[in-house]
Structure 1
Amino acid sequence: MEKALWYLITGTRGGENRARIIRLLQQRPHNANQLAGKFDIGYNTVRHHLDMLEEHDVVEPGGNDYGELYFLTDQFEHHEDEFETIMEHLE
């Protein structure tokens, strides 16, 4: 998970947006449309980032397809300190 977080946040384009998505999901679950509105980025872009985060077990969907909420995974929560370290490194 630690390597995946470094890759997702610092190793690829879009890492800043993925970090922002994670930050919001730390507060409460959101759906893709809500995230797109908060960041003023396209819905398809948000979906791409969510797909990448889901592929690396950082987020997981819950609920039905329409308005599906995204949650941080238990695996991410066990490595949340590493995420915070990455964020400090970027500042």
Structure 2
Amino acid sequence: MEGILWYLLASSRGGATRVRILRALDRRPQNANQLATELDLDYTTIRHHLDVLMENNVVKRTDDDYAAVYLFTEQVRSNWDTVSEIFDVVAPEEP
């Protein structure tokens, strides 16, 4: 999982956007529309990145409805030190 996280968040195109999404989800679980509003990104862009994160077992949906909320998988929670390290490398938060 560590290698997947480094690739998805630090090495691939879109990594910085996925870091922004994960940071937002760390603050509170949200649906795709809420993420698009908070991050000021297009809904389809958010959905694309969420699909990539779901395919790689980083996030999961609460259900299949339109307003499904996204949460971290247990696998990511157990590797949270790696996620935090990537956050600091890719896009350190402003003080």
TM-score by length of 2: 0.89
Q: CA RMSD in A?
A: 1.1
Structure 1 equivalent of residue 83 of structure 2: 83
Q: Gapped runs of 5+ residues in structure 2?
A: none
Structure 1 equivalent of residue 3 of structure 2: 3
SS of 1:30's partner is coil
Give the superposition deviation at 1:89: 2.3
Q: Gapped runs of 5+ residues in structure 1?
A: none
User: Which has a greater percent of strand?
Assistant: 1
Q: Could you tell me which amino acid in structure 2 is paired with residue 38 of structure 1?
A: E
How many percent of aligned residue pairs carry the same amino acid?
45
Structure 1 equivalent of residue 57 of structure 2: 57
TM-score by length of 1: 0.93
Structure 1 equivalent of residue 17 of structure 2: 17
Taking the aligned partners of 1:87 and 1:64, their CA distance within structure 2 comes to 29
The aligned length equals 91
Runs (4 or more) in structure 1 with deviation over 4 Å come to none
